[in-house]
Structure 1
């Protein structure tokens, strides 16, 4: 196994041969063997152990065992204790989720503080099969069937090609001591029920079941790479980015079959999960939207608009009479001038005496009206937005410069007639939007 592991590291994890890294060690057989294999290859690593204080003296014995292992191998060790039960109560999560969140946050901190290249965990082939079955039982897409990735940006799992049987044989052959967590035998946990009741039956079906499963996952991963390449090309064709908003043609989306499969492939990376809602959005009225935790999809006439969710901003910004520049949230320059220059969409000229200071920069409010420059009479702002075909998202992002409750400028789009320069004007104020 050591020879295979050495070849595997050289071929697939060459960075481990060049830079120091961290190994997570619980004291169980998988992580202990991982530590021993890395030590046998003279790799530069430290050990990290989490004591979750969930099994009384057994948890402390695990900690002592890992400390002794580090001492035996002359390796630096990091140990931390967690109030896992307190975290569960405070955050309303399961014990398993609490332990996961606590340990990975701590591992990330260790890696950053000590300039380590990655974290190694002891996940192996049987873990991969168990994860596959868990995902299958809960319902999943292709990503869930791919199992545990061997590498991510912050994690490496070099034991995935090796079975639990291989690891146990190596441990026994080399007289390596490890700790057994008795909770791993309790079938009240889904993973343990699969491990003890289902996986043995599957292995009975065929003597090389686990290897066949591993090969199948490799084929799935290769097929998934082809699919992702296709989706990447499709997004390049469909997704048109404009000022932080992505526009997607509804007509083009409706031409793809099976529709929900395409919607999943195109939008799952943005946190969407309710695919019927997304499909319904294609034929909904303008203004309807579907939210994920990070993004929203908005129907806007013939398109969907994809936008990252931002913190709500209800702030109002004031510009005093003596102020000549506003830096945030947009850049506006104010300057008295003698004459009107050639008009630009980013610049307006107003009669300063008609303004009531401080000027107010805000977003639209219900019932807003203004008197569009170059037109007669007043118009509801909502109707003006509709006439110029401003998208649903753009309406929400649009800033208004106001004098009291009166709109002076739909910034960057249209000024208000009431503040225009005329024959009676004595002071001309130039207001420019700086991009």
Structure 2
């Protein structure tokens, strides 16, 4: 008999879906997915069958497609199929064939789910798959999250066979005389997962014949530990992370009190793209001179006096932008600016708005990032001053200096440190006939 009660109990315990939900089944034609299809059909859930042909095994791949199609038709179920040029996709995206197949199938499953109105996508992964995943993560290196193996439910993906081992699946398929097709690539040791399944796990099973169930219990414990850790980290975020307009401030003294320090700081910073080796470097630099920076793909962490400041990295693809006199607005480094002209010589004092003698300007102008050696004459003064010194006087945080836009005249003179100070040489005089107005627009 099929393990219908265990199947339904697992679905209820894990809250995988509701009785009236529609489920899209990913069916390859192998034992696991075919058994899953028969279990769903037996409990009367509204399902459809989706099959991917990756064009990797020539005639065998077509055989699998035909088998699944006939199986779906014999059970009067909707059938969806697609063909991929997997090797081409892998080459174009510079990833392995396995990763290409994974990306392609998950994207397509989601497309079909949305288009055809299914609530969830069911995958036929079982306990042995979860064991292999944990071992792969351990071999490659992993955090706590890599120890819980394959989760029964993640967003719209459900895995209702995780209560079964491969041996149990084989037993039910053989006992019920269920037809299936065998994927010859499962015997290839070219893939890490297959090497573990064929060479490593049999030796572990000699030590522990109940390896799958032991791993299942351990995985549950790791999942609970991860939940506890996440709760602790969320509590730490409310205590240590201070959101300011220019970034997220974390007290260095607060970091020093963390125990275990590396683990907790990594958990605090990982959502900003920082990996463990970089977190270790940050910890070793906490007592060093201000200005030390550490980078992830999206953020920078700057040690600045008493705080570690996390800020987004502004793209430097365009380190400067040309401004023409016929533009009424322009953008630079995520900042919006307005440009207008007036014959009215009235002006207002504002850091975000400057009024300039139009006759002094030499278009096109340049707006760019601050550079070492930049100088200007601050409004109200008569002598040149290094902008770097001006930043120090204004107590501009180190991590913000390189992001402040600098407006430069056609002759190379600095006109304006945007949002901070205009150059005195470009102020309105009694002789001024026309005014050019630049405005930094604040949302």
Using structure 1 for the length normalisation, give the TM-score.
0.89
Which runs of structure 2 are paired with 1:299-314 in the superposition (5 Å)? 299-311=303-315, 312-314=317-319
Give the direction of change, closer, same or farther, for the CA distance of 1:116–1:283 in structure 2 (3 Å limit): farther
Question: Does residue 1:362 correspond to 2:364, yes or no?
Answer: no
How far apart in 2 are the matches of 1:159 and 1:310?
Answer: 45
Which residue does the alignment assign to 1:246?
Answer: 248
Which residue does the alignment assign to 1:84?
Answer: 86
Give the direction of change, closer, same or farther, for the CA distance of 1:281–1:62 in structure 2 (3 Å limit): farther
Which residue does the alignment assign to 1:424?
Answer: 431
Which residue does the alignment assign to 1:410?
Answer: 417
* Residue pair 1:400, 1:409 contacting (<8 A) in 2 also: yes
Pairwise CA RMSD: 2.7
Name whichever of 162-171 and 14-23 sits farther off: 14-23
* Residue pair 1:124, 1:163 contacting (<8 A) in 2 also: yes
How far apart in 1 are the matches of 2:20 and 2:343?
Answer: 65
* Residue pair 1:251, 1:302 contacting (<8 A) in 2 also: yes
How far apart in 1 are the matches of 2:21 and 2:107?
Answer: 21
Q: What is the Cα deviation at residue 228 of structure 1?
A: 0.5
* Residue pair 1:281, 1:290 contacting (<8 A) in 2 also: no
Which residue does the alignment assign to 1:94?
Answer: 96
Which residue does the alignment assign to 2:282?
Answer: 278
Give the direction of change, closer, same or farther, for the CA distance of 1:417–1:307 in structure 2 (3 Å limit): same
* Residue pair 2:337, 2:438 contacting (<8 A) in 1 also: no
Question: Does residue 1:67 correspond to 2:69, yes or no?
Answer: yes
Q: What is the Cα deviation at residue 402 of structure 1?
A: 2.9
* Residue pair 2:14, 2:152 contacting (<8 A) in 1 also: no
Q: Which runs of 5+ in 2 are unaligned?
A: none
Which residue does the alignment assign to 1:215?
Answer: 217
How far apart in 2 are the matches of 1:234 and 1:334?
Answer: 48
Which of 188, 195, 198 pairs up with 2:197? 195
How far apart in 2 are the matches of 1:124 and 1:244?
Answer: 47
SS of alignment partner, residue 377 of structure 1: coil
How far apart in 2 are the matches of 1:195 and 1:357?
Answer: 69
* Residue pair 1:271, 1:292 contacting (<8 A) in 2 also: yes
SS of alignment partner, residue 17 of structure 1: coil
How far apart in 1 are the matches of 2:273 and 2:327?
Answer: 43
Which of 368, 382, 389 pairs up with 1:383? 389
Which residue does the alignment assign to 2:271?
Answer: 269
Which of 30, 33, 55 pairs up with 1:31? 33
Name whichever of 38-47 and 421-430 sits farther off: 421-430
Runs of 4+ in structure 1 off by over 6 angstroms are none
Which runs of structure 2 are paired with 1:81-230 in the superposition (5 Å)? 81-206=83-208, 208-230=210-232
Q: What is the Cα deviation at residue 163 of structure 1?
A: 1.7
Question: Does residue 1:292 correspond to 2:296, yes or no?
Answer: yes
Which residue does the alignment assign to 1:334?
Answer: 340
Q: What is the Cα deviation at residue 286 of structure 1?
A: 4.1
Using structure 2 for the length normalisation, give the TM-score.
0.88
Give the direction of change, closer, same or farther, for the CA distance of 1:58–1:284 in structure 2 (3 Å limit): farther
